[in-house]
Amino acid sequence: MPFRTALSGLNAASAELKVIGNNVANASTTGFKQSRAEFTDIFASSNLGVSANAIGSGVRVSSVTQQFTQGNVGFTDNNLDLAISGQGLFIMNDNGINVYTRAGALGVNRNGFVVNNQQQQLTIFQADQNGNITGATGPLQLDRSDIAPAATTLIDVQANLDASATPVPVATVFNPSDATSYNNSTSLTIFDSLGSPHLNTMYFRKTADNNWDVFQYVDGVQVNGGTPAGDPISFNALGAITGGSPVAVSFTPSGGAAAINMSVDFNNTSQYGSPFSVNGLSQDGFATGRLSGIDFSDTGVITSRFTNGQSRTLGQIAIATFNNPQGLRQMGDTSWSESFDSGAPLVGSPGSGAAGLIESGALEGSNVDLTEELVNMITAQRNFQANAQVITTADTVTQTIINIR
């Protein structure tokens, strides 16, 4: 009697409905990958059986395979939300064990580690103190302590001195309060070893054609090397600087900071027949600062931003790919672990091979197609009804045989 054959069909249809139900239930789960029930027939025969007249014994579930197709990427307001456009998976450290996920909804725990909702730590390629990416992997930890300040050691001046300016008479004594004793001036803020700001002002005084004196003042006190005279700089007939650069400046600020020894570079300064202008004025010192945010590039490079305007490379996100992602073992919480069938992970950086690129401030949604799942649900329901009808018919046949007298 075909009871068991029909029963296997009922079990198969029920299993397919369970798979479909799980897909539908996770239609809004970040990073979820839908599954598909696959079936094979049961064909029982002996070694000496004749296949031409043998009848199958039903159906069974051969496997439930995951479909690692790309889900839709939706953008969020959280910079720590990450999505992968490609085949790679994030590597998360779960108490020393690596697990893999496509769900990039991340945050920061109380110890500064970047983690997901299961408190698994994001794995990155670490960077050294100079911001160079190394091959060592480890967790991403944000340091919220104050960073040490740096004293100014170099000032780069990019300006143009007016070649047609009138030289200041030699008899006129330079006085920063007397605008007739110099031609032009410009200022910028510099920093000492404690991060305290100081106002550095440069006064330019033309002494003769192609010759200028530069007076350096910090917080109103003259500090140029030629005190009390200015430091001379000279230009050629083409307006290019020929001498006097760089200018060495040394002074000891108040407040207990170390002496500042800096160099003022005028190599990018010109003397053309146009009005005085400052095209660029920069220095390499900075005050203390705290972490204000982090940025992720599309290749996974992580850059931290500080309140003092500085930035620092923290590392690069590590991405894993597998030769057979369908062979990964599901761990729940939209994470997987490697298995014999998946093969060993190939760890690389975003943008390399098939790993894909990183989208910051975005999350990958489920790849479940609800329309397709509802159609599959109807099909599985009809299969269940058809197998149930086989049992009903077989029962009628059996009842007829029993009633034979």
Q: In whole angstroms, what is the distance from residue 122 CA to residue 106 CA?
A: 8
pLDDT tens-place string over residues 81-135: 999 999 999 999 999 999 999 999 999 999 999 999 999 999 999 998 888 998 8
Ranges of each domain in the chain: 3-69+371-402, 77-145+293-364, 154-283
Q: Please, which pLDDT band fits residue 52 given cuts at 50, 70 and 90?
A: low
**Cα 101 off chain centre by:** 16
Average pLDDT over residues 377-398: 88
Coil, helix or strand for 267? coil
Beta-bridge partner residues of 322: none
Place of tokens 């204000």: 292
Answer yes or no: is pLDDT of 46 > 60. Answer: no
* pLDDT given for residue 226 in this prediction: 61
Answer yes or no: is pLDDT of 32 > 60. Answer: yes
**Cα-flanking dihedrals φ and ψ of residue 236, to 5°?**
-95, -175
Average pLDDT over residues 53-65: 84
Answer yes or no: is pLDDT of 22 > 90. Answer: yes
User: Rounded mean pLDDT of the chain?
Assistant: 91
pLDDT tens-place string over residues 179-200: 999 999 999 999 999 999 999 9
Beta-bridge partner residues of 115: 107, 121
pLDDT tens-place string over residues 296-347: 999 999 999 999 888 889 999 999 999 999 999 999 889 999 999 999 999 9
Q: Where are the beta strands (DSSP E) in 197-310?
A: 197-208, 211-218, 221-222, 231-235, 241-243, 247-251, 260-265, 270-272, 277-283, 291-296, 301-306
Answer yes or no: is pLDDT of 80 > 70. Answer: yes
Place of tokens 């490697």: 338
Answer yes or no: is pLDDT of 383 > 80. Answer: yes
- A 10 A CB-CB count for 340 gives 9
Q: In whole angstroms, what is the distance from residue 229 CA to residue 244 CA?
A: 14
Q: Where are the beta strands (DSSP E) in 247-290?
A: 247-251, 260-265, 270-272, 277-283
Q: Please, which pLDDT band fits residue 49 given cuts at 50, 70 and 90?
A: low
Answer yes or no: is pLDDT of 55 > 70. Answer: yes
Q: Please, which pLDDT band fits residue 403 given cuts at 50, 70 and 90?
A: confident
Beta-bridge partner residues of 234: 211, 243
Percent of the chain with pLDDT over 90: 69
**287, 180 contact by CB (below 8 A):** no
In the DSSP assignment, the letter for residue 140 is -
Q: In whole angstroms, what is the distance from residue 276 CA to residue 149 CA?
A: 33
* pLDDT given for residue 45 in this prediction: 62
Answer yes or no: is pLDDT of 48 > 70. Answer: no
The structure tokens listed for 73 are 């990427």
Pick the CATH number of 154-283 from 3.20.20.70, 3.40.109.10, 2.60.98.20, 3.40.50.300: 2.60.98.20
- A 10 A CB-CB count for 188 gives 15
* pLDDT given for residue 4 in this prediction: 84
Considering the entire predicted model, what is its pTM?
Answer: 0.79
The structure tokens listed for 330 are 């599901």
**Lowest mean pLDDT: which of 5-9, 179-183, 318-322, 372-376?**
5-9
* pLDDT given for residue 51 in this prediction: 62
Coil, helix or strand for 98? strand
**Lowest mean pLDDT: which of 38-52, 69-83, 101-115?**
38-52
Place of tokens 């945010």: 293
HEC states along the chain? CCHHHHHHHHHHHHHHHHHHHHHHHCCCCCCCCCEEEEEEEECCCCCCCCCCCCCCCEEEEEEEEECCCCCCEEECCCCCEEEEECCCEEEEEECCEEEEECCCECEECCCCEEECCCCCEEEEEEECCCCCEEEEEEECECCCCCECCECCCEEEEEEEEECCCCCCCCCCCCCCCCHHHCCEEEEEEEECCCCCEEEEEEEEEEEECCEEEEEEEECCEECECCCCCCEEEEECCCCEEEECCCEEEEECCCCCCCCEEEEEECCCCEEECCCCEEEEEEECCECCECEEEEEECCCCEEEEEECCCCEEEEEEECEEECCCHHHCEEEECCEEECCCCCCCCEEECCCCCCCCEEEECEEECCCCCHHHHHHHHHHHHHHHHHHHHHHHHHHHHHHHHHCCC
Residues in Cβ contact with 154 at an 8 Å cutoff, skipping those fewer than 6 apart: 262, 263, 265, 283, 284
Answer yes or no: is pLDDT of 143 > 90. Answer: no
